Structure formats: structure tokens, C-alpha cells
Structure 1
Amino acid sequence: MVHLADGVLLLAIKRLNGERSERSLFHVLNGKRSATTLQDAFFYELEPVFGQFPQTTYAYESLLKGLEKRGWLNRKQFKLTEAGDMLASPEAVEDLFNRLGGERRDFNATTWKRLSLFVQTFMSKEHERTFYPVQADRPAEQWVKRLLQLDRDWKVLMQSFHHEIEIALEKIGDPYATAVVYRFTGAFETGLTYEQIASLLDVDAETARLYFLAGWNELLIALPEDAKLRGFTYGLSTERMTYSARESYELFLKGYSFQQVQSQRRLRTSTIEDHVVEMAMYLDIFPLDQFVPAEEIVTIERLRHPNSWALKPIFEEMGNVSYFQIRLVFARLKRGETFV
């Protein structure tokens, strides 16, 4: 049987276009915060699934073998077969894929842990019932304890929370809304497992898990800026740039040169280059011409195939630019800039 979750993974392979390896996708699915993996996710539009399919090496190998056995994947080229391409193409697959929010996964996951544990704790105390925490997460437990110690009218606030969630759920719609609602644990009801939600929605458990991840991501996005629920995101960030790259960026803002940043940070040249590429990927404004001559920028754009982000062909064709410079130009092109 073909499941929507299969289509999502096939679409991830399709987006790589045979230009990256099996291992590259493995690191994306596991959310590895290395420069290469972040760039793969950015250039090949895999950020929604970044870290959303944690896999062991054995499980990943079994997964690829299964896709190959079913005639969906050509592993030698790491590209989809015609049958695999058909399964990755439906609108429902792309819709689910793009809603998953892998680029915000830590923000989403921590907010869910805080809110779900708060709801369970508050409701259980209101009804004087003992309970086992739905989240085995020490930081979330401590956060909720501190929150409940504040002098607030929690009953009124709970009504506000409920109202805000209802409005957001109406915006995102089913099946995403259903997957989110049934994961909550109260005083008398335990949140359903993905298997139980799958039974309700007539899908497999993995698809049900993806519906929840997508639904929760969309719910947080749908909340208005003044929503009281946003209090559960306190201290969290949706920053995509790594902490180390942000530190280098702060030095650049102070007027430090590349060499000065490298000396101050005591890092290798390649590491600072990776940080600069992150800046080019994520910043709205980036001084590209400080790193790549204007004429080379134009040449790189002209040489890039519209459907490819492969560096090597351009590097070999030009001969006078570095991979670092090509990556910088690619980053700005990916953001929609053009120089021709």
C-alpha cells in the first residue's frame, strides 16, 4: 500500500535531482547542523523535512531498500523512477511536505512540550487528580512549574488559550487540526498515539505523525502576534542561522574583516567561509560584491542550469572562482536575486 508519508520522502529525493548522495539526504532528515547539510536543505528546498525524519543508519538503509524494491528508486543514480516520480507528484504530497516546518522544528517542539504539559498539569490540579507527565522533558517541567507559580487567573487564561487554538485550528483545517487536537492530554483523557490518530483518519501512523507536525507548525504560524498563547514561545527563536555563524556575523557588523573575524574566532578559513555562506542564505541584505567580483557573479548566473544547484560544472567551466564564491552567488540566486 502507498502512504502519503512515502510520497513525502520520495519528493525529498526528487528535489535533490540526483545531485546529492544518499548520505546527504540522511543528514537532512536527521537535522544535522553542519554547513553542508544546511546548504543542501536550503538549495534543494528540503528545509520543511529538516530533522523531521530521525533515522538510524540501519533504518535508513532499510527504507531505501524498500523504495528500490517497490520500483520507486534508482539507487545508483539516487533518482526516482517514473513510478516513484508519479507518487511524489500529487498536490497532497507537496502540501504536506511544505507544511512540516523542519526549519522551525526546535521552536515548534519546545512550544508543544510546554503547552501540552501545562494543559495536563493545570487540568489535573483543577480536578485534583494525580498524573504522570505527558512530557518526559526536564526543562519543560521546570518551565511549567515556574509559570504556574505566577499570580495569574489561570482559569480565564485557559479560556483564552482554548479560544485562540480553536480559531487557529479552523484556519488550518483537517486532517491537520484533528491530528493536533487528539494529541492533547487533559485530566481525564490521554492524548492519542499516532497509531490511534491514524485509525481515526484512515491513514498509516507515519502519515498521522506528519499531519501532527504540519498541523502544529501551521497553528503557531496562524496565531496573531498578540495571542496569549505566544507566551509559551518565550525565550525561543526561529533563527535559522547557527549560533556560531551568528557570532561571526556580529563581528562583521562591527566592521571586522574576514581575516580579523577568523583571528578573533580562532577558526579555520573554511569554517568562516561556511558562516559567510549562511549569511548569504538567510540575510535579507548581503554584500555579495565584497566577496565575488561583479563580472564573475554575472558569469556564474549565466552558467547555472535553471534546474541545478551543482557547483562542480561551474567551477570546472570558469576555473578562476572558488567553490566558496559559487555558493555565495547561488545563495543569493536562490533568494530570488538576479544579476544578469
Structure 2
Amino acid sequence: MNNYLQVIILYAIKKFQGERSIYAIYHMLQGKKSSQTIQDAHLFGLTNIFGTIPRFTRQQLNQNIQLFHEHNFIEITDKTDAYIISGQGGRKLTDYLKKNPFPTSLNGWKYQNITPIFWGRLNLLIQTISHIVHNERRFYPIQRNPKIQCFVKEFLQNNRQDRGLIAQHLYEELISLLELQSNLKRDIFILKLTGVNRIGLTFEQIAKSKDVEEEYVRFTFLDSLHQMLAEIEQVTDYPILASLFSDWQRNGNPHLTHSTQTTLRYIQAGKTLFEIAEIRRLKVNTIEDHLVEIVLSDKSFPIAEYVSHEDEGKIIAAIKELNTKQLKAIKQEVDNKQISFFQIRLVLAKLGDG
């Protein structure tokens, strides 16, 4: 393997264990908000890489699969376009990750939507504040997105205290967060910042300066931002940084798709799945997909109304016996015509990440 993208793909193949096609990896990295991809992310423990390469292409995937074939890193299965990692591929992956560890704070499922917004707002705020405190009122904004520019303007209008004081507090919050991170993550984050007489470096420039692979730098930077977001959510010591994504946090459950949030409101109002489907003019299967997504996002969500405790026990026993997440195999094992694929999916969702 000669780049970190190959590591990510091989890592996903290992996680899927031949139970999904390689194109499930394509949808996973792109962050496709389909019920299948969302469920796969949780069932196979791939929520970390969900949506981390939104511009990933089928061509990139196919090229790397071909390369894995040539080097005997993967083996074919009896399923179309599905592979398992070979012993040689497993050893190669382990060796690579010893030198370039897999990001530990990465959480694409939770933060894929807010990460670019948070970073854009933070980077522009730092650039703006640094110019103001140095009496440099004219500068070319590093962020061209009008919404991000508008947010920073409103932030400064709503926080009219001394700009030097804001700069000091922002600096203290960032230092506190960066002290929790590795040297490499700290360095990459700082090198990306733009301020007075300083333009943030590209991932390619940082990779060259650090003598590491460019994709590894990008994933390490994502890891840094996700670690920050998680810490800010958990602790109240970062009021300025928290205000940069408080609007996202207020938006109900930000991890659910908009349509699923609507379904959740109807469920909370006491409507049945059939009633919701009728009201929303959607198929019952679609509403069932929404419920599975809700349970994936909130493991404490009660499912007793949809699957009895007895049937839940049978499904869990079948999953453990077969050590698989294939719906058809699980249904055959429970040998109960009354248990539906939907109920199996609910139980799998409640069990959590694989």
C-alpha cells in the first residue's frame, strides 16, 4: 500500500467481512444518507469513516480494488462484488497502521455535516480578529462562503466587547483543547490557520513539510476537529467555540435526516407507523427505515411496541449463534414467519455498532 486512501478502503473491507459489496464502501465514504448505508455504518462499526471523503469516486474504488487483487490483499467471496481481506492484506494493514495510527476521535457519522461549517467559521473568525487587533481592517477573507461570512459578522456584532479580549479568550480555549491532542494533530491544525501575514497551508504543503502522505494529513486534521467538537459538547469551558455550532446543536437531533426527524415527531405524538405513512403519503417501508435510523441514533429508544421481548430474544440468539448481520440468514435461523426483516433490523440497530 502506498497511500492512506488504500488503508481506509482495506480497513472497510476488513470490517464488512464479505457481507457487503465494495460499493457499500463507496456510499459509506461519501456519506450517503440512505437507510442501508446508515444502518451499515452502525452495524459494522464504520461510523468513524462515514462521510469522510465526500468526493470519493467509483473509479478510485475500482482502481484500488484492482490493485488489491494484484497484490493478493483481498479474496473473492460467493457474493457479487464482495471481498474479504486476505492474511497478507491483514498483515499489510496492521504494519501500515503501526506507523500511521488510525484516527481515534474520528466520528464522521456524528460530525460530517457540521465539521466544514465549524472549521470555516473558526478559521475566518481567527483571521478577522487577528487583523482587527493589529489594526489591519482590509484583508481578503479566507472563507468565500457568504453564509460563513455572515455568521462571523453577526458574531462580532453580538459580541461587542474589546476585540483583544475576545482574541485572548479564543486563544485560551484553543490552547486548552490542543493540549489534549497529539503533537502531529496540533501542528496540522495550527498550520491550517490563517491570520495577519499568514495564509494557512494546504494539505499537500503540510504533507511535504511533515514528510507524510497527504490523505493521512487530511484524516488527521479531521480527527483533530472531531476531537475538539466532542470535547466542546461535553464541557462548558469553551463558550466562544461552542457558540460557533450552537445553531446546529439546537436543530433537534442533528444526526437524523430531515425526513426522519419529521417521522420522529409523529411517533412522539403517538401515531402508528401506518398512520404516519398515510399522513406523509409515504410507503410504510420508508417509515420503517426512519424508525431504524432513530434507534441507531438513540439506543434507548423503546422498540417493544414493534417487536416483543420474546421475539427480540430469539433474534439476538440467532445473531450470536450465526455471528452475522445478514438479515436473510438471521430470519432463517429464528424460523418464525411472524418475525419480519424490519423487526430484525430494529434489534440489530438497538444492539449498536459492530
| One-letter amino acid of the counterpart of residue 237, structure 2 | D
State how 1:151-170 maps to structure 2 within 5 Å: 151-170=160-179
Tell me the SS of whatever aligns to 1:152.
Answer: coil
- Give, in whole Å, the separation in 2 of the partners of 1:243 and 1:146: 26
Question: In 2, are the aligned partners of 1:7 and 1:93 still within 8 Å (CA)?
Answer: no
Within the candidate set 104, 110, 115, 2:117 is matched to 110
Shift of 1:127: 4.1
- Give, in whole Å, the separation in 1 of the partners of 2:71 and 2:137: 50
Q: 1:21 maps to what in 2?
A: 21
Question: In 1, are the aligned partners of 2:173 and 2:237 still within 8 Å (CA)?
Answer: no
Tell me the SS of whatever aligns to 1:74.
Answer: strand
Q: 1:257 maps to what in 2?
A: 272
Q: 2:63 maps to what in 1?
A: 62
Name whichever of 183-192 and 250-259 sits farther off: 250-259
Q: Structure 1's 130 and 70: CA in aligned 2 closer, same or farther, altered over 3 A?
A: farther
Within the candidate set 181, 197, 202, 1:188 is matched to 197
Within the candidate set 245, 254, 278, 2:260 is matched to 245
Q: Structure 1's 139 and 277: CA in aligned 2 closer, same or farther, altered over 3 A?
A: same
- Give, in whole Å, the separation in 2 of the partners of 1:207 and 1:214: 10
1:84 aligns with 2:99: no
- Uncovered stretches (5+) of structure 2, i.e. residues with no partner: none
1:28-76 deviations in whole A, cap 9, x for unaligned?
Answer: 1000111111001111111111111231222222232233333323355
Name whichever of 3-12 and 178-187 sits farther off: 3-12
1:39 aligns with 2:42: no
Q: Structure 1's 140 and 4: CA in aligned 2 closer, same or farther, altered over 3 A?
A: same
Within the candidate set 258, 266, 276, 2:281 is matched to 266
TM-score, normalised on structure 1?
0.91
Name whichever of 50-59 and 5-14 sits farther off: 5-14
| One-letter amino acid of the counterpart of residue 145, structure 1 | K
Question: In 1, are the aligned partners of 2:51 and 2:108 still within 8 Å (CA)?
Answer: yes
Question: In 1, are the aligned partners of 2:296 and 2:349 still within 8 Å (CA)?
Answer: yes
Q: 1:148 maps to what in 2?
A: 156
1:295 aligns with 2:315: no
| One-letter amino acid of the counterpart of residue 46, structure 1 | L
Q: 2:328 maps to what in 1?
A: 312
Indicate the structure whose relative CO is greater, using CA pairs within 8 Å and at least 6 residues apart.
Answer: 2
Q: 1:96 maps to what in 2?
A: 102
| One-letter amino acid of the counterpart of residue 225, structure 2 | W
- Give, in whole Å, the separation in 1 of the partners of 2:182 and 2:21: 36
Shift of 1:236: 1.1
Shift of 1:94: 9.5
- Give, in whole Å, the separation in 2 of the partners of 1:131 and 1:68: 51
Name whichever of 236-245 and 249-258 sits farther off: 236-245
- Give, in whole Å, the separation in 2 of the partners of 1:99 and 1:6: 20
Q: 1:201 maps to what in 2?
A: 210
Question: In 2, are the aligned partners of 1:18 and 1:79 still within 8 Å (CA)?
Answer: yes
Q: Structure 1's 131 and 9: CA in aligned 2 closer, same or farther, altered over 3 A?
A: farther
| One-letter amino acid of the counterpart of residue 29, structure 1 | L
Equivalenced residues, count: 336
Q: Structure 1's 256 and 92: CA in aligned 2 closer, same or farther, altered over 3 A?
A: farther
- Give, in whole Å, the separation in 2 of the partners of 1:154 and 1:35: 46
Question: In 2, are the aligned partners of 1:51 and 1:105 still within 8 Å (CA)?
Answer: yes
> What root-mean-square deviation, in Å, do the aligned CA atoms of Structure 1 and Structure 2 show?
2.2
Shift of 1:273: 0.4
- Give, in whole Å, the separation in 2 of the partners of 1:101 and 1:178: 21
Q: Structure 1's 4 and 60: CA in aligned 2 closer, same or farther, altered over 3 A?
A: closer
- Give, in whole Å, the separation in 2 of the partners of 1:138 and 1:158: 23
Shift of 1:140: 0.6
* % identity of equivalent residues: 29
Within the candidate set 207, 226, 237, 2:237 is matched to 226
Question: In 1, are the aligned partners of 2:73 and 2:88 still within 8 Å (CA)?
Answer: yes
- Give, in whole Å, the separation in 2 of the partners of 1:182 and 1:221: 22
Name whichever of 180-189 and 191-200 sits farther off: 191-200
Question: In 1, are the aligned partners of 2:114 and 2:248 still within 8 Å (CA)?
Answer: yes
Name whichever of 272-281 and 2-11 sits farther off: 2-11
Q: Structure 1's 216 and 40: CA in aligned 2 closer, same or farther, altered over 3 A?
A: same
Q: 2:181 maps to what in 1?
A: 172
- Give, in whole Å, the separation in 2 of the partners of 1:272 and 1:156: 50
TM-score, normalised on structure 2?
0.88
